[in-house]
Chains A and B, each alone.
Chain A
Amino acid sequence: MLSEYKEVFLEELDEQLQLMDEVIMQLERDCESREVIQSLFRAAHTLKGSSAAMGFEEMKRLTHRMEHLLDLVRSKEKTVTPPLIDLLFRALDSLKLMKEDIVTQDCITVDVSACLQALERFGSEEAGGGVPVTAPSAEQDAGRTAYGTSAAAAAAASGFKWPELSLSIRLHMKNAIGQGLRLYWVSVRLSPDCFIQGARAYVIQTMLAEWGEVLLAAPDYESIGESGMETPELTYLYAGTQESSELAAMTANLADVAGADAEPVSPEEAEMDYRAHGDEEASPEPEREPVLVLVPPAAETAAAAESLIRQPASPPTAQQPAAAVKSKAQTIRVSVERLDDLMNLVGELVIDQTRIQQVARTQRRRFQDDSVGELGHIADHLSRIIGDLQESVMKARMLPIEQLMGRFPRMIRDLSRDLGKELELVMEGQDTELDRTLIEEIADPLIHLIRNAVDHGLELPEVRERAGKSRQGILRIKAAHEDNQVVIYVEDDGAGIDPAKMRSSAVGKGIISQEEADALGDREAIDLIFRPGFSTAQRVSDVSGRGVGMDIVASHIEKLNGMIDIRSELGRGTSFKIKLPLTLAIIVGLLVKCNGQTLIVPMSNIAEIVRVPAEEIRSVRGQPVVLIRNQVIPVADIRDRFGVSGTNDGRKHIPLVIIGSAEKRLALTVDELIGNQEIVIKSLGAYIGKVEGIAGATILGDGSVALILEVSSLFGKAAVR
């Protein structure tokens, strides 16, 4: 039960931390913006509430300090200074560490006392305006509590019992009475040991809405989670068919409810007040409900907002987030597993659909009949629908890459400060969507590339000046869709990669021999960066790592069926281009035939397909190669790989499928090109397990099983020769 709340809590924590990250960065740029300070304050406040509810005392204390400090900034007692920004970042980092602790071990072990002290010191020193802000947190807390209770007491003393009713709610009440429903004030007392009151309130409200209609909830569940409530009592205006005793009993039976009452609302109450309100704010003709027509929507919402303010239990700061949550209410959280299941089912459909298509084609060839034509039409329609369905399901799994890119500005800010570089970060295409699994998988390689660009790519400001460039380097991260693939660029306008240096360095490290180095063109020399154990950094900094960088990046991208390309110009900068498939489950594959067996090469691994005269395949030191657009590409025969013999028995032209995995290229000779098709990757199952060179299998239109080549493993094989 606890873990369920923990999940909710962690999700919220994640969101708020990300938000804080962004907001502090904004604050750094724009010190004066009140909105920015306000939203930061709100985030700290939210976290304070939920961490207290979850019993994470340390986190509560830290967020409380932050909140306090921000309050001072808000009230202009403090100004935003670089040390303050640094301190806020430091506190944020501590919060992140705490989050890690909570995720891994369910309790907080990280020591944040230093950070707490720093916050406290900062809060108390040089407090302008003559207000001594030395008050320790306990007093602050006490003050707040006192305020809360006295407000409640005042409300009670003034005879206040039920929340004020807005005009629109009164109209709803009238409607309900018109429908013959009974109106009740339902008051619910939550049991004192209830965790996350907001969540419980939500459940209660949902249940009530199932039994009847909830016209008003005070406090609204959306406003509770943040701070909890002093007196956990919920009030609902409810319309339904039940008797009051029945309703009270049903409500009291819900989990975490200590007690419940249902008090009937007299119809006159709605009527009378409605009239009073009508005089003030709306039409002079209250009898026939013309208000709906006459009152412009703005007035109605204003009335509703007013009623919100008057609700006693709702804390004043809660209104804005509540409104924000409301606008988000159109989305629901769905577990990834469900989406995966859905995707699998769609995969089955895609397979069947290709089969139906095939049957329809053969039928058409064989028979001339109206029904055959109809079958064709149905098959076409079906494939359109399945195509749409597939796209919708795929979209449901997609997230904007912003999820990932949002993390970069902070990281880059810290990096550039540590390394003494000045740079401008340009991010484009944050709304590019890709599969959520891919977003997770691509994070590490991307971060690596960025670190490399800042550390090795961009020069120090003085060096840049001497080279006649602006002091500030430009780091550009760009994402976009390019023919059904996602491409991500990481570009810098730094020093670029020197091919000559690459050659000598590779020889020095014993990665290649001197002759090999001499034979390399500039592009191939730059590609050396992807070789294991290669790093041109003069020193090993803790920023871009220990020379394990680029080859790991490359192999990671290979695993995702992607490609990485590097372009570099000496003195001008370096550009990495990562190409990824949109999704991992359904891919476009090229069907080829080899010795009568159909094989599939993932389209995302194919650089190009050519047909060359047989004599153009030459042999260099025993390795067959082909020259395509001035690039020497080794040639491999899939049949070798599959242990079947066969020759290109005197064919004049040979189809070549040029595959790329990361930066490598390889030309595969095949017997026949069949065409490309959308295919669903299926595993060979646990019994067979992982087979070298095979990424999986799929079912073709004719019902047969075809194997999918694992492109990256073919390279290993070719390199041995």
Chain B
Amino acid sequence: MTAQEQYVEFGIEREQYAIRIQDIHEIIKMQDITHIPGVMPYVKGVINLRGKIVPVLSLRDLFGMEEQPYTKQTRIVVVNHAVDTVGIIVDRVSKVTTFNDIQAPQGRFGGLDGRLFTGIGLTSGGLVGILQLEEVLLQD
């Protein structure tokens, strides 16, 4: 992994996370979500993404945080996951960025399992957890 790779940085609560830009399909505003009974609680339902049915997850729920009402800043980060497309609800999307310094994740990061991250990006604004999508999406 080169340090100059581009990332999309986003946040929930006061924490900042990032995903490699090539893993991201697109970023869309909040949509009407159709709830599906009997699935994992973090799966909020499905949306219609231009004719494709895409499941959406809540990053808050995935990371064990309280759900908050959606705001104008709420976004769905649509990522490619294996053959599927999955949307991740985040509180806000900040910017496209690069990290000059990426450190290997320690055992835990902000109360979360270090395995969820490929690394921790150091910026002037603080620490940014770079998500290991495979792990995040496969949580039970």
Residue ranges of A at the interface with B (Cβ–Cβ < 8 Å): 348, 351-352, 597, 641-643, 682-688, 691-694, 697, 699, 703-707
Contacts and interface: CB of A to CB of B under 8 A. Distances in A.
B45 to A, nearest CB: 8
A693 B39 CA distance: 11
Contacts of A684: 36, 46, 53, 55
B84 A697 contact: no
Given A641-B37, A688-B36, A704-B48, 10 more contacts: A682-B53, A688-B46, A691-B36, A693-B37, A694-B37, A703-B48, A704-B34, A705-B34, A705-B45, A705-B53
Contacts of A688: 36, 39, 43, 46, 55
A351 B37 CA distance: 24
B108 interface: no
Contact of A707 (B32, B36, B137): B36
Interface in B58-92: 81-86
B35 interface: yes
B47 interface: yes
A685 B38 contact: no
B36 A699 contact: no
A351 B51 contact: yes
A683 B86 CA distance: 14
A450 B118 CA distance: 61
A706 B34 contact: yes
Given A352-B51, A686-B82, A705 B37 contact: no
Given A688-B55, A699-B51, A704 B39 contact: no
Contact of B53 (A691, A693, A699): A699
Given A703-B48, A705-B46, A697 B34 contact: yes
Interface in B112-140: 137
Contacts of A682: 53
B54 interface: yes
A704 B54 CA distance: 12
B76 to A, nearest CB: 14
A697 B46 contact: yes
Contacts of B81: 687
Q: Give 5 nearest A-B pairs by CB, closest first.
A: A705-B34, A642-B37, A687-B84, A699-B48, A688-B55
B37 to A, nearest CB: 5
A688 B85 CA distance: 11
A642 B34 CA distance: 13
Interface size class, chain B: 20 to 34
A136 to B, nearest CB: 59
B37 A685 contact: no
A590 to B, nearest CB: 18
B51 A707 contact: no
Nearest to B47: A705
Contacts of B36: 684, 688, 691, 694, 707
B51 A687 contact: no
A688 B43 CA distance: 8
21 contacts: A352-B51, A597-B35, A642-B37, A643-B37, A684-B53, A684-B55, A685-B54, A686-B83, A687-B84, A687-B86, A687-B137, A688-B39, A688-B46, A688-B55, A691-B37, A697-B46, A699-B48, A704-B32, A705-B47, A705-B48, A706-B34
Contact of A687 (B32, B37, B38, B55): B55
A699 B86 CA distance: 17
Contact of B55 (A642, A685, A704, A707): A685
Contacts of A705: 34, 45-48, 53
Interface in B1-52: 32, 34-39, 43, 45-48, 51
Nearest to B54: A685
A589 to B, nearest CB: 15
A682 B54 CA distance: 11
Nearest to A352: B51
Contacts of A697: 34, 46, 53
A679 to B, nearest CB: 13
A703 B81 CA distance: 24
Contacts of B34: 597, 697, 704-707
A687 B35 CA distance: 15
Nearest to A683: B53
Nearest to A642: B37
A685 B84 contact: yes
A641 B34 CA distance: 16
A705 B39 CA distance: 16
A703 B46 CA distance: 12
A693 B36 CA distance: 10
Nearest to B81: A687
Contacts of A693: 37-38
A685 B82 contact: no
Nearest to A680: B51
Contacts of B51: 348, 351-352, 699
Contacts of A706: 34
Contacts of B45: 705
Contacts of A694: 36-38
Contacts of B84: 685-687
A348 B51 CA distance: 7
Q: Which of A597, A642, A692, A705 has the most CB of B within 10 A?
A: A705
B128 to A, nearest CB: 25
A601 to B, nearest CB: 15
Contacts of B39: 688, 691
Contacts of A686: 82-84
A352 B137 CA distance: 31
A352 to B, nearest CB: 7
Contacts of B55: 684-685, 687-688
Contacts of B46: 684, 688, 697, 705
Contacts of B53: 682-685, 697, 699, 705
B134 to A, nearest CB: 12
Contacts of A597: 34-35
Nearest to B137: A687
A685 B35 CA distance: 15
Given A686-B84, A697-B53, A692 B38 contact: yes
Q: Which of A691, A694, A697, A699 has the most CB of B within 10 A?
A: A699
A697 B37 CA distance: 13
A697 B51 CA distance: 11
A683 B83 CA distance: 13
Nearest to B36: A691
Nearest to B45: A705
Nearest to B138: A687
Contacts of B43: 688
A704 B32 CA distance: 7
A642 B39 CA distance: 11
A599 to B, nearest CB: 10
A699 B54 CA distance: 11
A486 B56 CA distance: 38
Contacts of A704: 32, 34, 48
B80 to A, nearest CB: 11
B95 to A, nearest CB: 27
